[in-house]
Amino acid sequence: MATALPSTTICQTSFSFPSQNPCKVKSPSLIFPTKSHDLIRCSAKKKISIVDRILDYIEGGPKLRKWYGAPDLLPKDGSDAEDEDELPGNAFVIAESEVRDAVLVTDGDSEIGQMIILSLIVKKARVKALVKDKRAAMEAFGTYVESMAGDASSQPFLKKALRGVRAIICPNEGFLSDAGNLQGVKHVILLSQLSVYRGSGGIQALMKNNAKKLAEQDESRLVASGIPYTIVRVGMLQNTPGGTQGFSFEKGSTEKGSLSKEDAAFICVEALGVIPPVGFTFEAANGEEKVSDWKQCLTRLMEKSEQKLP
């Protein structure tokens, strides 16, 4: 059965979903990866924000959800089945043999957070997200994403949020500084702009001083956590199309360099496939190097990082 995407969205690169015919797009705006590493670019006819375009795609309605075999949207009151597990005294029932297969995206309603979520949905990953407005997130993502709103510094809430979570992707600074025990998590990926903050001067340095402190705290907390981690230090994030430029992973490239937000989101998702024994940090900015195999590229960067250790 042929099914069309929402009226505001058209596709430039041919691609297929279950029970769907290929479609074409006219103008570039959003790129996200497929299982075969092709890039799909989606666009809206009207000049709307990248976040709105992502939501337009996700809000394709019941027909789009059926492509993934997902049920209808959750109740409008913001409740979900998991809330029924909550017991008096903020206690929660947790199965001893809990399956950890979900990826938790912090700051899930931020622009880059939504890009990461969309890429995970396309990969058919189980996604959980921390958001400020749970109802809005549910209306946007439906049952693709288990959206949760609450205080990450509250251990009962964090314990609930981490149920079934194997990996965490942090697209912005602040979460790790406030979060409590991350017990059970197997891998944390942190998108860090610390190099940019440290390279800022004058009024920019004053404006970004708080973000710099949070980024430093996040990195320090993550390194000391004992959880395998990947810190992706990026250049200045830009609202430019992803997948159109190469990359630079050289030390110092991020201090004055820049990186497409779409490319940054893509790298974070690809980093899920390479779990370091302990942890490693690398820099990423747009440059000349073309990457065809991200698993191989990230493994090379990880091994290079290990060689520098005393």
Write the pLDDT tens digit of every residue in 248-261: 999 988 888 999 99
Write the CA distances from 294 to 122, 223, 269, 307, integer angstroms: 17, 23, 10, 20
Is the pLDDT at 118 greater than 70? The verdict is yes
Residue spans per domain, the chain: 98-307
Q: Taking 80 as the threshold, does the pLDDT of residue 5 lie above it?
A: no
Instruction: Work out the percent of the chain whose per-residue pLDDT is above 90.
Output: 43
Most confident of 24-33, 150-159, 162-171, 214-223: 162-171
- Does the pLDDT value for residue 273 go beyond 90? yes
Among residues 8, 41, 36, 35, the alpha carbon closest in space to that of 242 is found at 41
Distance CA 189, CA 65 (A): 28
Tokens of 268: 């974070």
Q: Lowest-confidence range among 139-143, 170-174, 183-187, 231-235?
A: 139-143
Q: Which of 62, 64, 173 is nearest to 118 (CA)?
A: 64
Residue 40 neighbours by CB under 8 Å, 6+ apart:
11, 12, 13, 15, 31, 32, 33, 34, 122
Mean pLDDT of 188-210: 80
**β-pairing, 279-287 with 246-248?**
antiparallel
* 179 vs 241, higher pLDDT: 241
Instruction: Return the amino acid letter for 30.
Output: L
Tokens read off for 287: 């440059």
Residues 6+ apart with CB under 8 A from 51: 111, 114
Q: Lowest-confidence range among 5-19, 74-88, 181-195?
A: 5-19
DSSP classification of residue 77: T
Residues 236, 196: contact at Cβ < 8 Å?
yes
- Give the Å distances, CA to CA, from 257 to 233, 266, 285: 11, 18, 6
Are the C-beta atoms of residues 183 and 203 closer than 8 Å to each other? Answer: no
pLDDT in tens, 41-100: 444 444 455 555 555 555 554 434 433 444 444 444 444 444 444 444 443 444 446 789
83, 122, 100, 225: which is closest to 166 by C-alpha?
Answer: 100
Helix, strand, coil proportions of the chain in percent (round to 5)?
35, 20, 40
Q: Which is higher by pLDDT, 273 or 6?
A: 273
Structure-block tokens of residue 309: 């250790």
pLDDT band at 35 (very low <50, low <70, confident <90, very high): very low
Q: What is the pLDDT of residue 26?
A: 37
CB atoms under 10 Å from CB of 1, counted, come to 9
CATH superfamily of 98-307: NAD(P)-binding Rossmann-like Domain (3.40.50.720)
Is the confidence at residue 148, as pLDDT, over 90? yes
| pTM greater than the 0.85 cutoff | no
- What value does the mean pLDDT of the chain take? 75
Distance CA 305, CA 295 (A): 15
Rounded CA gap, 227 and 187, in Å?
6
